[in-house]
Chains A and B, each alone.
Chain A
Amino acid sequence: MRKIAICALAALSMAACASVPPVPNARPLNAQNIDAIGSTSVVVAENNTGVMKSWFRQDSSAAAASQGLLGVLVGAAIDGIMNYAPSRRARGVANELAEVMPADALNDSLVQHFSRQIATGAPGGVSVSDVRTVQKLTSPGVTDDALEVMTSYLLSEDATTLQVSVTLTYQNTGLPYATPYTFEGAPPKTELTGPLYRNTFTYSSQQLPVPVLTPELRERLIASIQENARDDTGAMPAEGTDAFKSMNKELEEARDDKLTKAEIAIFLAREWTKNNGALLRAEINNAHAFIAKYAVLDMNRTAIPSLTGVDELVETLPDGRTVRRVGPGVMAGSYVSLPGNVSDFVTYGNAAAIAEVNETRTRNIQEQARAARAAQ
């Protein structure tokens, strides 16, 4: 047993010495691949989470673990108190977003935008032949000979910015991937397999202006915190409960002279849902147009990104929005669509709240899939 432990320790040490060299995430097609692919299907993986709401989850599990079982229990209790109200509020925002923009509407919109790209593209190059959807919960495998589209929609912690992120991949069993990147030694294993084409496209919405803290705004903030703390029957939390402690913590912060990102979100979340989600729809529409257009363009582009490249300005729109191709780092070659002029810092937390209706939808799909497999 001791020999096994020593060998395992030695192996782990050796593994720590072997580091994987960085390589750009993007995988461009070469001219031969473009000729071979030609017209291809686009398969939009159905988004099941809808527009999520970002928030910061307190997590002291690792630090608490060093204090033994008691530390773990105390840490979990404190985390539970701190996270109760923020998670509840983020969930509430996600629920409201889902009311005006259900997940199905997101999928339909993206399908429509890719459909507008049918038969566009350079002559003789890669073009879109048709567009369909796939539910990955029931069909988890890779779709062969089609451009797969995976999406994520996330509202920032302070609700000033909506971020739409899309990853596109193309895989074809008849066209194996050969890395265009060179390495000092052997290529890492990740560069020996996987999709023939891959890239990411990220759209950041216009940034909503941050409200200025006034006495009236402070009172609204306090009222909102108290309202958020009520349970389904409308009752305030009982003294001593996690909900009560969490509410009091938030009220204490609300009475100071600073607006935190989480507090800002209380006001700005409504901007996205008012008028039946007009702003949300408009930004998602813009995001989908950007993604569909540049997906086709990029699939016909053979330039190989570099870790030490520079950002390229690709397009400037009349409202000052720009489309850029990222230069340096592992995201080299990816595309970002950024607003014209930002005025405050945006953050995205380590947690994302999903609307209840979308969680239920996901559960139902999974149960149906299980039932179908059991029936076979």
Chain B
Amino acid sequence: MSAARLAVAALGLTLLSGCVSDPGYAPMDAAAHRYFGYVDQSNGEGGYTIRVVLPEGVENPRSAFAHWERRAAELCGPAGYRKQLHTARRNMLMMPGYTPSGYSYEVMGDAWCNDPARASTAPAGPASPAVTAE
């Protein structure tokens, strides 16, 4: 790609990332082109893996932690949950020749519900293979 095109692409991406507004507390939905928010799935250990991604430019990046806790509370109800927050990172957009710029804030962890009735009973989601086994 020529240097001029790269510059335009980088500028466009930067402007677009600035235009992405805070999605608030909402689930991700790729079909609706909503790539920020929260998503959860069974972790195969009776708990849930919850992931929250907020765009750069969000007023309070630490709200990603609050969104995580809120989703865990929704899944587990008033009895509460045990948590393991293992990932919190600011993802950066790095392109040669350009100063890195922030892209998103991401928080991910597992929650196990104290109420057994709320525990996830689904397995960890079989790997829907895009490639076949031997």
The residues of A with any CB-CB pair to B shorter than 8 Å are: 23, 30, 56-63, 65-66, 180-183, 207, 304-313, 316, 320, 322, 324, 327, 338-350
Contact = CB atoms under 8 A, between A and B. Distances in A.
B134 A180 contact: yes
Nearest to B97: A62
B60 interface: no
Interface residues of B, number: 41
Given A62-B98, A65-B97, A350-B94, A345 B3 contact: no
Given A62-B98, A66-B7, A308-B130, A320 B124 contact: no
B3 A322 contact: no
Given A58-B99, A63-B7, A312-B124, A322 B131 contact: no
Contacts of A305: 127
B10 to A, nearest CB: 7
Nearest to A64: B97
Nearest to B86: A338
A19 to B, nearest CB: 13
B90 A306 contact: no
B88 to A, nearest CB: 4
A173 to B, nearest CB: 22
A81 B7 CA distance: 23
B88 A345 contact: yes
Interface string B78-104: 000001111111101011111110000
A30 B134 CA distance: 9
28 contacts: A58-B99, A59-B98, A59-B99, A60-B98, A62-B95, A62-B98, A63-B98, A65-B3, A66-B3, A182-B132, A304-B129, A305-B127, A306-B130, A309-B127, A311-B43, A313-B43, A313-B44, A320-B84, A338-B86, A340-B84, A341-B83, A342-B86, A343-B65, A343-B85, A345-B89, A345-B105, A346-B89, A346-B90
Given A59-B97, A65-B3, A342-B88, A308 B127 contact: yes
A89 B108 CA distance: 31
Contacts of A349: 92, 100
A208 to B, nearest CB: 13
Interface string B10-49: 1000000000000000000000000000000101110001
A180 B42 CA distance: 28
Contacts of B86: 322, 324, 338-342
B4 interface: yes
A316 B47 CA distance: 14
Contacts of B125: 310
Contacts of B131: 23, 180-183, 304, 306-307
Contacts of A183: 131
Contact of A62 (B96, B110, B133): B96
Contacts of B130: 306-308
B84 A341 contact: yes
Which of B44, B87, B109 has most A Cβ within 10 Å? Answer: B87
Contacts of A340: 84, 86
Interface in B48-65: 49, 61, 65
A292 B92 CA distance: 30
